[in-house]
Amino acid sequence: MSKTTPASTLSPRRLVLPLALCQFIASYAGTNMNVAISSIAKQLGTTVIGVQTSITLFTLTMAALMIPGSKLTDIWGRKFCFILGLAIYGSGATIAALSQSIGLLTFGYSILEGVGSALMIPPIYIIITVAFDDLPSRAKSFGVISAAAGIGAAAGPLIGGLITSAISWRASFLAQTLVVAGIILITYRIRTPQRTGSKPAFDFFGAVLSALGLFLVVLGVLQSRTYGWFRSRQDFSVGGTTVIQKGGVSPVWLFVAAGALVLLWFFIHVRNRERAGREPLLSVRLFRNKTSNLGLITQNVQWLVLQGSFFVVSVFLQEARGYSAIKTGVVLTPATIGILSSSVIAERLAKRFRQKTLIWSGFVITIAGMLLLLALARVHSNIWTFVPGLLLMGVGVGLMLTSSVNVVQSAFPEKDQGEISGLSRSVSNLGSSLGTAIAGSVLVSTLVEATGSLDWRSSRSRCSLGSG
C-alpha cells in the first residue's frame, strides 16, 4: 500500500501544483472550444449554433451546480470530491473526444465536464485556505491558482487553435483526459487537510432551487446575444408558438426574472431552515460580511472584464483583421503575461499592502489598460499598439484575481469554507457569462445597425476598437 504525505509536512509547491493544474484545465475548457466550432460542426454534421449551444450548456451546468458541489465537500470530504470531480471530468473529456454526434459531445463536454468542474473546483480554494494559516503564504498560493485560472482562460484559444490546426479538435479533449489522469495520480498520494466537526446534512430542496435559479439567470443573460437586451431582435418561440414577437420585450428578462424569483425562494428557504436549527445549503449570514461582499463583487466584475474584453478583442482581430485563431491567441499573450507577473508577486504585495488596497489598485490599472487599448488600437494600426493596453489589463486583473479570492476565503472560519467556496465560484462563473453575453450583444447590435444583417465579415471595414 502506498503511503500518503501528511499535509503538515507537505511542501507548498507539491500541494499547490495539482490544484493549479486542475484550475488551469477548468478555465481552459471554457475558452478553447471557441476556435474549433467550425471544425466540430463539420465533422459531426451539425450546425455552428448546435456547437455553441453545447458550449453554453457547459457554463450553465457548472454555474448551476457549484454551490451544491461545494456543500458535498463537507459531507463526502474535500479530497474525495476533488478526485471524484476529476474522474467525472476526465470521463466526459474522453467521451467528447470519441463522440460521433452533437448529442454525445454535449453529454461528455457540457454535462459530465460541467458536473466534474462543480465538484473539483471548490475543494481547490478550501484546501488552500485551511492549509496555509499566514496571509502571505496563502496569498502566494492563491496567486499561483489565480494565475492558472487567468492563463487557462487567456491561453485557451491559442492552445486550442494550435492543437486543432495541427492534429484535431478531438486531440484537445484527449489532452485534457491525460492531464486529469496525471492530476489524480499526484493527488492520490497527498493527504489534504480534513474538515473538523460532524458532517452536515445535505439540503436537497435547497440544491434544486439554487441550481434552477442560477441556471435560469445565466441562461437569460446568454440569450442576449440572440435576442438583445431590451427589444427582441427576432420572434421568441416555445414549442412552435410565438411567445414574444420581434420588437417586443427581450426574452432575456423573462428568464432573469424567473431565475430571480427562484433564487428569492431559495433565500427564504435557507433562512427558514437555518432559523429552525437545520443545516441549510448556504447560510444567509455569509452575506453579512462586508469585506467578503466586496471580494465577491470584485470577482464578478473581474471575470466579466476578462472574458468580455477577450471576446471583443478576439472577434475584432479575426473579423476586422482576418487573423487566424493561432495568431489571435498570440496577440492576447501580453494579457497572459500581465496576469502571470502580478500573480507571481502576490506574496510580496500581501506583505506590504492591504488586500483592499490591492483590489482597488487592480481596478485602476485594468481601466487604464482598457482606455489605452481603445486609444491606440485601430483596424490598420501596427500590432504592437495592442501590447500596452493588454499588458496593463492583465496586470490589473491578476491583482484583483488573487486579492479578491484571498479576501473572500479568509473572511470565514474553516467550518464555512465549503459554502463560501461554492458561492465564490458561482459568482465568478456568473461574471464570465455576463462578460461574454454583454460583449456579444453589443457587437451584434453594432453590426446590425451598421449593415442590417448578422454577417460579421461584411463589416470588416467598419470594425474598430477605438473611434476614428
86 part of a folded domain: yes
Out of 236, 262, 280, pick the residue that ends a domain: 280
Both 436 and 382 in one domain: the answer is yes
Give the model's pLDDT for residue 181: 92
Is residue 2 one of the residues assigned to a domain?
no
Q: First-to-last CA distance in the chain? A: 69
Contacts of 301 (CB under 8 A, 6+ apart): 363, 400, 431
Task: Give φ, ψ of 244 to 5 degrees.
Answer: -130, 125
Tens of pLDDT along 27-66? Answer: 888 777 766 777 788 888 887 667 777 877 887 788 788 8
107 and 252 share one domain? no
Verify that 70 and 162 share a domain, yes or no.
yes
Task: Based on the fold, state whether residues 102 and 113 are members of the same structural domain.
Answer: yes
Residue 267 CA to residue 415 CA, distance in Å, equals 20
Q: Flag whether pLDDT at 386 surpasses 70.
A: yes
Q: What mean pLDDT is predicted for residues 403-424?
A: 75
Give residue-wise pLDDT tens across range 246-271.
878 888 888 889 999 999 998 899 88
156 and 302 fall within a common domain: yes
Rounded Cα distance, 164 and 324, in Å: 12
Considering the domain architecture, whether residues 292 and 182 belong to the same structural domain is answered as yes
Residue 251 neighbours by CB under 8 Å, 6+ apart: 220, 223, 227, 232, 236, 243, 244
- Per DSSP, what are the bridge partners of residue 241? 238
For residue 116, the model assigns a pLDDT of: 93
Does residue 203 or residue 146 have the better pLDDT? Answer: 203
> Could you tell me if 83 and 169 lie in one domain?
yes
DSSP string, 179-209: HHHHHHHHHHTB-PPPPPSPPPPP-HHHHHH
Count structural domains, the chain: 2
Average pLDDT, the chain: 77
Domain match, 77 and 163 both: yes
Average confidence (pLDDT) over 109-136: 84
Domain boundary among 255, 280, 305: 280
Residue 1 lies in a domain: no
Q: Which pLDDT band, with edges at 50, 70 and 90, does 431 fall under?
A: confident
User: Residue 440's domain is classified under what CATH number?
Assistant: 1.20.1250.20
> Domain range spanning residue 345?
7-202+281-457
Helix spans in 276-354 (H): 290-315, 325-331, 333-344, 346-352
Tracing cell 486542475 back to the chain, one arrives at 22
Give backbone dihedrals phi and psi of 129, rounded to 5 degrees, phi first. -65, -45
Residue 463 lies in a domain: no
Q: Are 379 and 464 in contact (CB under 8 A)?
A: yes
* Same-domain status, 168 and 269: no
pTM (2 d.p.): 0.74
Domain limit, last residue, from 280, 301, 321: 280
Q: How far apart are CA 191 and CA 339, in angstroms?
A: 30
Q: State pLDDT tens for residues 66-105.
A: 888 888 887 888 888 889 999 999 999 999 999 888 889 8
pLDDT at 13: 63
pLDDT at 462: 42
Are 254 and 179 part of one and the same domain? no
> Which residue type, as a one-letter code, is found at position 358?
L
pLDDT over 70 at 465, yes or no: no
Residue 259 grid coordinates: 431565475
> CB under 8 Å to 309, separation ≥6 — which residues?
370, 393, 435, 439
Within a domain: residue 462? no
Residue 333 shares a structural domain with residue 384: yes
Same domain, yes or no: 425 and 289: yes
